[in-house]
Amino acid sequence: MTEKEKDFLIEINKDNVQEIQEENNPNILYFSATWCRPCQYLKPAMQKLAKAYAGKVSIGTVQVDNEHALVKKYGIQKIPNLVFCKGDKEVHRYIGADGNEVEKGIKEHFNI
């Protein structure tokens, strides 16, 4: 797989979320679903951001249909829903499908 083909988005689930949040990098939990059109619209922007900030910010998708415990833990009611965390502490939340707003949030809340 070439660097261009590599998907930098991490699949986040109940089994790996703690490990990801214990890393030194800030992280974004991208709550999404395959049937959600706005989520699918946002996905290419999220892949681009995951690649651009690789090694600085961990960005991963949480499939709401499969990860009920995480949906409940973070109180997700609407998608796409992005939870910005430092460790396991939420510092910002963005609901919507605008990649520019997500990048603005990265710069503002993670000081990158």
Q: What local confidence, expressed as pLDDT, does residue 102 receive?
A: 94
Instruction: Reply yes or no on whether 36 is catalytic.
Output: yes
pTM for the full predicted model: 0.90
| Residue 65 resides in a domain | yes
| 5 in a structural domain | no
Would you say residue 61 lies in a domain?
Answer: yes
Q: Is residue 82 part of a domain?
A: yes
Domain that holds residue 51: 11-98
Q: Which of 12, 28, 36, 42 is catalytic?
A: 36
Residue 109 within any structural domain of the chain:
no
Torsional class of 7: left (φ above 0), alpha (ψ -120 to 50), beta (otherwise):
beta
How many domains does one find in the chain?
A: 1
Residue 27's H or E segment, with its range, is strand 27-32
> Has residue 75 been placed in a domain?
yes
Residue 1: the pLDDT is: 35
CA-closest candidate to residue 76, choices 7, 10, 12 = 12
Residue among 10, 20, 39, 83 flagged as catalytic: 39
Nearest 5°: the CA angle 112, 80, 43 is 70
Q: What is the mean pLDDT of residues 89-104?
A: 94
Residue 60: give its domain's CATH number.
3.40.30.10
Q: Is the pLDDT of residue 5 over 50?
A: no
* Residue 33 belongs to a domain: yes
Residue 43 lies in a domain: yes
- pLDDT at 3 > cutoff 70: no
| Backbone phi and psi for residue 94, each to the nearest 5 degrees, phi listed first | -130, 130
Least confidently predicted of 23-27, 35-39, 42-46, 63-67: 23-27
Query: What digits encode the pLDDT tens for the residues 42-92?
Result: 999 999 999 999 999 999 999 999 999 999 999 999 999 999 999 989 999
